[in-house]
């Protein structure tokens, strides 16, 4: 089973939207498990209203999402961990050096030179357009990580 984890700060904006969009991308595949967590998350918080709205526009449901913190157990279960920013990547590598071989920056594999190596901007506190820009970046980045996983997966 491929177990994909998306990590941001609070697990209410970016990573839940990445989770639901990626789950939709791989919905025809039975060998994927997808979740999200936050470096500084308070467990039990709902997804942001703007992320819920963007998901709903795609026919996806984020209303039952509840935030969770990154823990040893969550990291251990994941086969692929994608940080949404370089600061999340650094924190993951500092806290879980034993998992270094499965931790990546989300934008690391894109063929889009304008996005490769960049952070997915944090829309927290912003308006719907900030969230829409974040979603557009996720739409461009998620297929490349799917291709990476499929090309490199070794059970």
Mean pLDDT on 127-133: 95
pLDDT at 154 over 90: no
Predicted confidence (pLDDT) per residue in 41-51, tens digit: 999 999 999 99
- Report residue 57 CA to chain centroid gap: 19
Mean pLDDT on 115-142: 96
**How high is the pLDDT of residue 155?**
80
pLDDT band at 27 (very low <50, low <70, confident <90, very high): very high
Active site residue 13: no
Domain coordinates in residue numbering, the chain: 2-152
Closest CA to 32 of 135, 149, 151: 149
Mean pLDDT on 78-91: 98
Q: Does the structural domain 2-152 have CATH classification 3.20.20.150?
A: no
Active site residue 66: no
Residue tagged active-site, from 14, 31, 113, 118: 14
Helices (H) and strands (E) in the chain, counts: 5, 4
pLDDT at 69 over 90: yes
Is 10:42 a contact under the CB 8 Å cutoff? yes
Per residue, what are the HEC states of 135-148?
A: HHHHHHHHHHHHHH
pTM of the model: 0.97
Residue tagged active-site, from 8, 13, 24, 66: 8
Is 37:69 a contact under the CB 8 Å cutoff? yes
Active site residue 132: no
Closest CA to 51 of 3, 110, 11: 11
Please return the burial class of 55, using the count of CB atoms within 10 Å of its CB with bins 0-12, 13-18 and 19+.
buried
Residue tagged active-site, from 24, 116, 118, 122: 122
């Amino acid at each position: 089973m491929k177990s994909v984890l998306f990590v941001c700060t609070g697990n209410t904006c970016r990573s839940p939207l990445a989770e639901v969009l990626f789950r939709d991308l791989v919905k025809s595949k039975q060998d994927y498990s997808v979740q999200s967590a936050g470096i500084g998350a308070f467990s039990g918080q709902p997804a942001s209203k703007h992320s819920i709205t963007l998901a709903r526009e795609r026919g996806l449901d984020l209303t039952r999402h509840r935030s969770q913190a990154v823990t040893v157990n969550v990291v251990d279960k994941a086969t692929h961990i994608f940080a949404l920013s370089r600061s999340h990547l650094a924190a993951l590598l500092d806290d879980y050096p034993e998992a270094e071989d499965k931790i990546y920056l989300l934008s690391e594999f894109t063929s889009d030179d304008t996005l490769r190596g960049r952070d997915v901007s944090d829309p927290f506190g912003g308006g719907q357009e900030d969230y829409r820009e974040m979603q557009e970046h996720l739409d461009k980045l998620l297929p490349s990580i799917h291709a990476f996983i499929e090309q490199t997966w070794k059970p």
